Amino acid sequence: QVQLQESGPGLVKPSQTLSLTCTVSGGSISSGSYYWSWIRQPAGKGLEWIGRIYTSGSTNYNPSLKSRVTISVDTSKNQFSLKLSSVTAADTAVYYCARGTQGAFDYWGQGTLVTVSS
């Protein structure tokens, strides 16, 4: 059973960079034809896809966030990471990592709340 777990600071100051890591257990991040995504959800609002990475290193990003987002993978640690620069209060949200195929996100982490505040 694949499990994903997000980790990182719960509080980030405005204009700084938000950094989160997703650790995958129960299977190798390199096995199978899977994409690894980040998705966020502001309190009381809907889901927003941030971006994804394939284990080859190829990435796709949400156009609205593309200039500020970097997703990377470390296959030796079975982890992938998110960096979001120049954050504002609008980036306050629960951030989820998820495993995906071309058509869906089948395994999700429990989510981690990141608050942007001074």
Partner 1 sequence: QSALTQPASVSGSPGQSITISCTGTSSDVGGYNYVSWYQQHPGKAPKLMIYDVSKRPSGVSNRFSGSKSGNTASLTISGLQAEDEADYYCSSYTSSSTYVFGTGTKVTVL
Nearer to partner 1, 91 or 99 (CB): 99
Q: What is the CA radius of gyration of the chain?
A: 13
Which tokens hold the place of 34? 């899977």
Q: Does 8 bind partner 1 (CB under 8 A)?
A: no
Structure tokens belonging to residue 27 = 């299977």
14, 28, 83, 106: residue in contact with partner 1 (rule CB under 8 A): 106
Q: Is 61 helix (H, G, I), strand (E, B) or coil?
A: strand
Residue 61 Cβ, how far from partner 1 at the closest point, in Å?
7
The 20-59 contact track toward partner 1, x by CB under 8 A, reads -----------------x-x------xxxx--x-------
What is the Cα–Cα distance from 36 to 29, expressed in whole angstroms? 8
Site string for partner 1, 57-96 (x = CB under 8 A): ---xxxxx-------------------------------x
Cα–Cα dist 96/103, whole Å:
18
Give the span between the Cα atoms of 68 and 29, in whole angstroms.
Answer: 25
CB of 40 to partner 1, least distance (A): 11
Distances (CA, A) of 28 to 5, 24, 45, 75, 91: 14, 7, 32, 8, 30
Q: Which residues bind partner 1 (CB under 8 A)?
A: 37, 39, 46-49, 52, 60-64, 96, 101-106, 108-111
